[in-house]
Amino acid sequence: MSGYGSIVGRTTMNLNSNALRYNLNRTQLEMFKVQQQLQTNQKYAAPSDGASATSAILQLTQQLQAREQWNLNLNEAKSSLDTIDSSLSEITKTLLESISIGSSQIGTGSTEDTRKDQAKVIDEQLKSILTLVNQQYSGLSLFGGNNGASNGGKVFEDFMGGIRYVGGSDNLQTNFGGINKQDFTSNGLDAFGALSSRIESNVDLQIKATPETRLEDIEGADQLGIRDGGIRVNVNGSEIYVNLSSAETMGDVVTRVNDAINLSAPGAGSLAVTDEGFSLSATAGNNITISESGGGATASDLGIKLTATPGTTVNGPSVNPKLTPQTELSSFGSSVDFASGLKVTQGGVTKTIDFSSAQTVEDMMNIVDQAELGIKLQINEAGTGFNLISEVSGIRLTVGENGGTTAHDLGISSLGDQTRLDSFREGLGVESVHDKTDFRVTTHDGTTFEVDVTGANTVKDVIDRINDAATTAGLTVGTDFSVGYASDGTGITFSDNTTGTSDFQIENINESQAAEHLGIAKNAGATNSFTSDDNAKVVVQNIFTNLMDLSAALYKNDVSGITFATDKLEDRNKEVILARAASSVDANRVALQLERSLELETSEKSMLSLIQEVDTTEAITQFQMLQVQLQASLQLGAQNMQNSLMNFLR
């Protein structure tokens, strides 16, 4: 504590007055600051009052503001996930009741009337589940993923006699202050298998490269993508560095390389885009080499690490262009019959999808959407072909031909070479007998041959075995006997061009049911051809389909159908239980994160209080000391101001 002291030596009254005023002002200013601290409970009124503490205060304040939002997000996410968990719990209970009903109606003790009564119960259970899966929290669809319905809307809706899922396949996420974001919704795909992706094309459409092909849309010669960097172009010993980091298309690469070639030796050669990648040409008397720059890999990725000698053209490896929505149909390397189109049956509705007006892949996707059949055409993950997705549960989908070969050319026929036998009969598959043949084929001329399908995995495997057996029996495949696919709709077609009085037929033998399961057990009589039934229809296997199937089987008094649907429901219930477990894990994770965040918030507030807020006891003590200091200064100043010359002459 400082006060007003006496002035050593002789001073003027003016100097004494100024010294007194300075000390009084300083003390009063300090008193004002302490008084302000007591009023605001803050140590610092301005950043300059505590420069060293200001940075920490600002950082902690910003952290607390962000944490407040994170905690709000965590609370909302926890409530959302808890509601999802509760809904899945209710759905599981309902499914167990449905399974119990189905099991009780399989025995002989049930009558047609009791089964019809129980079918009505199943219908009500389906309605209750639909209410749960369309539930919203804070205006967001809990099972709509990242594409939920509008407030009050539905993500599972009635459609063409089935149930269509219109939500997203990814979940909504939010930031909680951690490294990774956290899901706070579920989606119909993860929770209920709301979509079917069974129709996956195995046809590589062999997309052609063009100057407009974007570098991000090619796999690269090494299938590692295109790494940014530069290359070196050597023309007759003169080398130029070419930076390709900002090149966006294959045409950009060509332009920059050719500019470098012409800069070194005009007309010496050129780089060009081919259907598969690039080609490098050198004119007579010129040598051109393209190589990496330093340790780069750009030339290798682009397939242009090439050397062209005088008068030659050398082709680089394929850069594997990928299918994109912007891909022109004219750039398909494989032949596709776009003119005929598809014949698609969804439930009881059949429509023709005509691609003749399409110019790009996106046009094709839009045409499929506009058919309003609850299907979507998507590019597969490899970027080589298509997948056809069904969004509708409870009804069956077939995709076939409309007089041409469009479906098979695109690889999206629901019954084709790569259709797996275990997908027949809605997942029951094709059963064969071991160590024996499964069915017999008889042609008009009396020729017979037997076929064993044990070990066959796809329809093509079966067709190959039929053709091999026909050849062994002395028939000329393609002339006397042939197997193919229907040109109208779906099915396997069998043709018999032999002559005779025998019926053309395929029949099960050795107690096998393989021919019936394949849909080919038929007797064409005297006709020369027949088409199999389509036993490989696409169905979205989920709780909605199985509940609808159980209800239908109960109404029809179909015991085998009741058994099948009940067994499927048991599988679906396990999937819902797993979905609930995943949701519970997320909910627990969020709850723990919220608990930790609240603890951190308390710690941060305590730290901020320690740095920013005033110690009241200390401030009051300081204020009292300043009051004493002020009083002492006033008393001493008053005493000194009363002195005169006479006081010093005594």
State the number of CA atoms in the 13 A half-sphere of 396 facing the CB.
13
The reported pLDDT for the residue numbered 278 is 98
Longest dimension (CA), the chain: 161
Angle at alpha carbon of residue 438, lines to 433 and 442, rounded to 5°: 170
* CA distances (Å), origin 421, targets 428, 449, 534: 9, 22, 12
pTM: 0.81
334-346 CB burial, b ≥16 within 10 A, e <16: eebbbebbbbbbb
pLDDT of residue 446: 96
Q: Is 7 left (phi over 0), alpha (psi -120 to 50) or beta?
A: beta
Residue 531, strand partner residues: 493
pLDDT for 634 equals: 72
E strands present in 373-459? 375-379, 386-390, 392-393, 397-402, 439-442, 448-451
Torsion sign across C-alpha atoms 221, 225, 226, 228 = negative
The identity of residue 193, as a single letter, is: G
DSSP secondary structure code for residue 219 in this structure = -
Cα 1 from chain centroid? 71
pLDDT of residue 406: 96
d(CA 125, CA 133): 12
Residue position matching structure tokens 């099972």: 143
Sign of the alpha-carbon torsion through 215, 218, 220, 223: positive
Q: What tens digit of pLDDT does each residue of 450-473 get? A: 999 999 999 999 999 999 999 999
Q: Which residues of the chain have pLDDT under 50?
A: 1, 4, 6-8
| Sequence-separated (6 or more) residues with CB below 8 Å from residue 293 | 229, 230, 231, 232, 241
**Residues contacting 416, CB < 8 A, separation 6+:** 407, 408, 459, 485
Structure tokens at 275: 């259907």
β-partners of residue 387 are 200, 378
- Tell me the domains of the chain and their CATH numbers: 62-195+544-599 (1.20.1330.10), 215-315 (no CATH), 329-414 (no CATH), 437-506+522-531 (no CATH)
CA 513 to chain centre: 40
Pair of tokens at residue 193: 């298998």
* Cα distances (Å, whole numbers) of residue 264 to 88, 271, 306, 537: 70, 14, 17, 63
| Structure tokens given for 243 | 């930076």
Q: Reduced to 3 states, what is the DSSP secondary structure of residue 235? A: strand
Judged by DSSP in three states, 458 sits in: strand
Strand-pair category, 386-390 with 196-200: antiparallel
> Of 386, 217, 385, 384, which is closest to residue 376 (Cα–Cα)?
386
Question: What counts of helices (H) and strands (E) characterise the chain?
Answer: 14, 28
- Within 371-482, residue ranges assigned H as helices are 406-410, 459-472
Helix (H) or strand (E) holding 231: strand 230-235
* pLDDT 10s digits, 536-589: 999 999 999 999 999 999 999 999 999 999 999 999 999 999 999 998 998 998
CA distance 44 to 206: 71
Nearest C-alpha neighbor of 405 from the set 417, 388, 390, 391? 417
Write the CB contacts of 623 (distance below 8 Å, at least 6 apart in sequence): 31, 34, 35, 38
